[in-house]
């Protein structure tokens, strides 16, 4: 069964420093996708980055990068040069299933609350 684990309930980081948010996952399906979302205090869910299980390189999107270690089943989010606006809840999520199948589910971890300090 799918499982996503985020072990850091909360983290602090100084402005302009880099921070790594941890995410581990468990699946028996060789085809899956990993996502990170940001939820600011206003409540909306903002998509940050995607990594496919067959992607050879780690995904990057601006200041966000995903440290994908397939053998360890980890998909950590790295935010470089933190900004005050990065303060938010961050969720890791995983989708597994086969194309056209009815098993397509997106499952979320419990989230990490990041506070960026000036």
Partner 1 sequence: NAGVTQTPKFQVLKTGQSMTLQCAQDMNHEYMSWYRQDPGMGLRLIHYSVGAGITDQGEVPNGYNVSRSTTEDFPLRLLSAAPSQTSVYFCASSYSFVAKDGYTFGSGTRLTVV
Q: How far is CA 15 from CA 28, 66, 67, 114, in A?
A: 39, 20, 21, 12
Nearer to partner 1, 43 or 62 (CB): 43
How far apart CA 53 and CA 49 sit, in angstroms, is: 13
Handedness of CA 59, 110, 74, 102 (dihedral sign): negative
The site string for partner 1 over 70-109 (x = CB under 8 A, - otherwise) reads ---------------------x-x-x-x-xxxx-xxxxxx
Closest distance to partner 1 from the beta carbon of 45 (Å): 4
**Site for partner 1, rule CB under 8 A:** 6, 33, 35, 37, 43-45, 47-48, 50, 52, 91, 93, 95, 97, 99-102, 104-111
């Amino acid at each position: 069964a799918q499982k996503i684990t985020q072990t850091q309930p909360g983290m602090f980081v100084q402005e302009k420093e880099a921070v790594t948010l941890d995410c581990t996952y468990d699946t028996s399906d060789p085809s899956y996708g990993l996502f990170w979302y940001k939820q600011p205090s206003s409540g909306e869910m903002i998509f940050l980055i995607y990594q496919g299980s067959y992607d050879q390189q780690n995904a990057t999107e601006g200041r966000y990068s995903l440290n994908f270690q397939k053998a360890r089943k980890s998909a950590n989010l790295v935010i470089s040069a933190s900004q005050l606006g990065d303060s938010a809840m961050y969720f890791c999520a995983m989708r597994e299933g086969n194309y056209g199948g009815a098993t397509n589910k997106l499952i979320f971890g419990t989230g990490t609350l990041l506070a960026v300090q000036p």
